[in-house]
Amino acid sequence: MTDISMPSKSDPARRGLSARINRLLAAPAFQAWAARFPLTRRMVRRDGEALFDLVAGFCHSQVLMALVDLRIPDMLMDGPMTASALGHRCRIPPDRMAVMLRAAVSMKLLKSGRQGTFRLARKGAALVGVPGLREMILHHSVLYGDLSDPVAFFRGEVETQLAGFWPYVFGADGQGDPDVAATYSNLMAQSQLMVAQDTLSVVSLRGVKTLMDVGGGTGAFLRAALQTSPKLHGVLFDLPEVVAGTPETPLSDRITVQGGSFRHDALPKGADAISLIRILYDHADETVASLIGAVYAALPTGGKLIISEPMTGGDTPQRAGDAYFALYTMAMRTGKARSAAEISDICHKAGFSQIRALKAPRPFITSVVVATKTATI
């Protein structure tokens, strides 16, 4: 058994060296010298700015939240406005509105113009144009509340509100409220566009005849896949109350809709590729292992598994995966963000081979692992 009181590979010489370096870097005299010394002063300044950004990050998030909540980017779509005009429309005194707008300028969401006007910067316009972004930002008030005592949060002592936010993850299968299902599916479908784009830009569906999307919501990913592959047939598998909201579209005659629960029902056979898009991170290891096992059983030899979701960086932690999605899923309390290596390992244990992590263009949106069933076990 591992002794958790000490790092497992504790090498006294290395620990001693690392402690000496830490003490040197933290010493005020060293900091003062490094800030003056020509070869280090730029680095010290960059470090200082980056550190201050971390210190102030929660203010940045709240400025963003207020802007989006008040729909200021939408109001600026038609052109620049002054702080008093915006303040009037948002019922915020002009001088306080000016503080918010200037903060947004410093965050490169807005630009200030002549005669005290403010207009959208590129990133500000994205707040209007990127599907699902507004909804994503607004629902963060729940996570923000859950993180208000971060030490208690990491100790696991907070009854998180996010745990009640996504009803279908929590075993409510089959008895869900269609209205809640619709709100949930809508939020997912809106952000699905970018996930589908990025996934399909790195995954090849050449030779695939039928793609089954398990946990496919109301079919947004399948429709995107069918659009790129004109001969492809799709099977949409999700909880009955969720697939009930699948819209009729010109692609509907190429999609078979199948309601069921991957926890309780066998997955339908017949697809030569199965996708799991933003599914695994909602669930505990046992559920994930049994789902991947069920996917393996449902695929023919040569069949392909496509997994796409935000992943952690594994041995190289990344901002999006490790400082956001890992906390988000921890607050949800049913699943967890995993690295491509961890997901590959689960696939390997289920019998898959030719497992590859593909380089997706925007890891803050999604990362991709593919695997093949090369032989039956």
Report 102-131 residues binding ligand SAM (CB under 6 A): none
State yes or no: residue 321 binds ligand SAM (CB under 6 A). no
Q: Which of these, 135, 127, 115, 114, lies nearest to 76 by C-alpha position? A: 127
Burial 228-251 (b: 16+ CB within 10 A, else e): ebeebbbbbbbbbbbbbbbeeeeb
Q: Is residue 211 within the footprint of ligand SAM (CB under 6 A)?
A: no
Cα distance between residue 119 and residue 39, in whole Å: 39
Number of residues that bind ligand SAM (CB under 6 A): 21
277 lies in the binding site for ligand SAM (CB under 6 A): yes
Query: Regarding beta strands 210-214 and 233-238, do their DSSP bridges make them parallel or antiparallel, or are they unpaired?
Result: parallel
Return the range that interacts with ligand SAM (CB under 6 A); candidates 52-60, 217-225, 226-234, 351-359: 217-225
- Nearest Cα neighbor of 201 from 34, 368, 51, 23 is 368
Per-residue binding letters, 187-206, with ligand SAM (x by CB under 6 A): -x---x--x-----------
Burial class of 124 by CB neighbour count within 10 A (0 to 12, 13 to 18, 19+)? buried
Q: Which is nearer to ligand SAM, 87 or 219 (CB)?
A: 219
C-beta of 97 vs 188, nearer to ligand SAM: 188
Residues 306, 311, 315, 320: is their CA dihedral positive or negative? positive
Among positions 282, 305, 311, 327, the unique one binding ligand SAM when judged by CB under 6 A: 282
Strand-strand pairing, 367-372 and 353-358: antiparallel
Name the segment binding ligand SAM (CB under 6 A); options: 46-54, 256-264, 312-320, 340-348: 256-264
Task: Report the candidate in 185, 240, 233 with the shortest Cα–Cα distance to residue 208.
Answer: 233
CA distances 129 to 74, 125, 192, Å, are 9, 6, 14
DSSP string, 167-195: GGGTT-TTS--HHHHHHHHHHHHHHHHHH
Please say which residue, 124 or 321, places its beta carbon nearer to ligand SAM. 321
Among 124, 217, 310, 335, binds ligand SAM (CB under 6 A): 217
Residue closer to ligand SAM by CB (options 83, 329) is 329
Check binding of 263 to ligand SAM (CB under 6 A): yes
Residues in Cβ contact with 41 at an 8 Å cutoff, skipping those fewer than 6 apart: 34, 35
Q: Which is nearer to ligand SAM, 213 or 342 (CB)?
A: 213
Q: Exposed/middle/buried for 314, CB within 10 Å: 0-12, 13-18, 19+?
A: middle
When asked if residue 242 is in the footprint of ligand SAM (CB under 6 A), the reply is yes
Interacting residue with ligand SAM among 81, 87, 173, 271 (CB under 6 A): 173
Q: Is position 215 an interface residue for ligand SAM (rule: CB under 6 A)? A: yes
- The residue whose Cβ lies closest to ligand SAM is 215
- If one asks whether residue 239 binds ligand SAM (CB under 6 A), the answer comes out as yes
CB of residue 238 vs ligand SAM: minimum separation in angstroms?
4
Residues that bind ligand SAM (CB under 6 A): 168-169, 173, 188, 192, 195, 215-217, 220-221, 238-239, 242, 261-263, 277-279, 282
